[in-house]
Structure 1
Amino acid sequence: MRKRVAILGSTGSIGTQALDVVEAASERFEVVALAAGGGQPRLIAEQAIAHGVEVVAVAQATAAQDVQLALYAEAQRRGWDAGDHRIPRLLAGPAAAAEVARTPCDVVLNGMTGAVGLLPTLAALEAGTTVALANKESLIIGGELVTKAAAPGQLVPVDSEHSALAQALRGERPEDVRRLVVTASGGPFRGRTREELTDVTPEQAAAHPTWDMGPVITVNSATLVNKGLEVIEAHLLFDVDFDRIDVVVHPGSVVHSMVEFVDGSTMLQASPPDMRLPIALGLAWPERVPGAARGCDWTEPVDWRFEPLDEDAFPAIRVARKAGQFGRTAPAVFNAANEECVDAFVAGGLDFLGIVDTVAAVVEEHLADPATHESALTVDGVLAADAWARTRARERVAAR
């Protein structure tokens, strides 16, 4: 029987590749629902009609009419005007993705970008559905709200690093794990000093040497904020203390992460950089999908270099660790402030180094507030901290 899949963020990098995986393994998967922002009505209509989905959701209510028209146009183009096919039901508005996440299905792939993925992740978990999680932010800002809502095995990582860790940890005992080692390509500015980063442009930051990703994640990879988020994610997914999670620079991007065990052994997962592999594994977990991606060509030289992280030039991981170790709403503040700073940087309103400097200042301000130390973690508290951090980040950007 085929697995029924709902894809959130279907028009983004993860979503489009997930649809490629489904199409290539149509005997194993069928897509029943899609959700996207709404900025690409023609694309989501093409996706929905091609896969015969039951439900389409867009976050932008103003895009609903354009998407509806695009659905009819695409159906007509495919000869559906005879009336023998059904147009998908259309949902619109900020809560639409969470409604799709509650759709009866086997797997919800959350490929959304940013904090907006939290409520859909919680909705899918509450519905008892397996969540293939590419939206790391929902776990990071939700923290225990997400981990406690998830039954064992219900939360499956799709990030290549955490997919690698999950594979290396399969069948292993927690007490045998010495540390997790998360690899980083180093981004487009690997080897530069802090002084050499002062004049970086958005165009330069968008030129990632290995991965083809959306604009926010690509800039996060340039600042290494993405790696800081992944350290917090690894802590939450695998219940390993922060002092046993390391980051190492691996320019070849062949080894996606490693687990070191107490006897000195290290297990790693290696493959060419291709997100279709962890996406396929996330959809099929714990099974593998034959032919999901190509393997390594061991007849050719492979770059196995590993280098230490320069935390002076790239302090984002240090800031993320501090936020993660404090917990509560601090990771939400870290993430929200960064999202605002990335937007400002892309728009030309903030310099590259100002991204992490501003995020660090907002996190410190949050931690200095006595109320932060007393508040319990709730969804409303996370959303309030997210909103506060965005406001403070914008204010600090304007002041620069």
Structure 2
Amino acid sequence: MKADTNLLNQPLALTNGSVLRNRLAKASMSETLGTYDNRPTLGLIELYRRWAASGLGLIITGNVMIDRRALGEPGNVVIEDERDLPLLQQWAKAATDQGAAIWAQLNHPGKQSAKGLNERNIAPSAVPFREDMAALFETPREATVVEIQDIIGRFGRTAAVCKKAGFSGVEIHAAHGYLLNQFLSPHHNRREDEWGGTPEKRRRFVLAVYAEIRRQVGDDFAVAIKLNSADFQRGGFTEEESMETIRALVEAGIDLIEISGGTYEDPAMSGALHVPKKSSTAAREAYFLEFAAKVRASLDVPLMVTGGFRSAAGMNDALRSGALDVVGLARLLAIDPDAPSALLQGRDSEQRVRPIVTGIKPVDRMGVMEVLWYTRQLKRIAKGGEPKPHEGGLSAFLKSVLAGGWGTYRTRRLRARS
């Protein structure tokens, strides 16, 4: 494929006035490269400099948490104030100095945080995880209205610090079973007050977070959102509710919507549940392209789809269909951080994303290795090394469990001293 016919090379103008230099984006992945007291590190700068050098148009960070009391994993970066502004500026410049836009993904885990990491986990309602996951995740406490208002304000403050640090924008994480997704889901949100009880009230929290961020950063700063097409969970967030949420966000002025799907309990975002029913669907590489086409048919908003893309031809076919504007890549960039350079020239990466299994059925069912194994590859790149695409799943799992246990202990100890 010639570079001049490769749709990946086309720039994209967003409604806030910014322009992405091409249609390739690095989607969010869990890095856990922060310190155990949740501050950014030089490893993040090295990793993002490597990705920016590959030619990506947009780079979205891993989880940036808005509250030190609400971590998703040990080693999360937390931004509550300007204490780490110099390092945050270096992180942003690692991308922008090479022409890439960089958006910080802002998140609150809600109930989706491993047992013992936080002093307590809150959620819209006190709904436990399914039985086989109860040993890993505690039943959360229902959030109070005061706590809900505090969280909304924290999203805004974190976004404002990111803007001051030189990030090109922020992405609100409202997918994959985290807090904002929990508020949207009738399974997790069983409230009967102004924050739940109907689809309109369940999406009130997401809209309030967006409004507060926009109030604090202004109209010239990119604000995007990552949203599930559906939760793929009985009684969860449906495609119909997702479409109505997208409609409300478009009316509110969102700059871009990234479409994904699934939760920790049903990890469709990793492909674990993506079994196409039609041959025409199977021929498409992207997991959520069909839903994106439905959105595009009724709404005018830049769309990014992440999950399942394998080839330059498949990415171009998706762009040519008009169903999306930005191709999101994640796992491929953990095993081949230079892949965008080839894709922008119309060539495929020599690496292929493969299922990561341990042989331990409960672990493999959760899809947890789609986080743990790839996180180990990112840490290698952050140290100036190369990933190990053929690392075994079981050994990576055992090493990750040991590291995670130590990280949880260190995080709790440091919090107790502060």
TM-score, normalised by the number of residues in structure 2? 0.29
Greater relative contact order, per chain length (Cα 8 Å cut-off, separation 6+): 2
Given the two structures, how large is their TM-score scaled by the length of structure 1? 0.30
**Bigger radius of gyration, 1 or 2?**
1
Higher helix share: 1
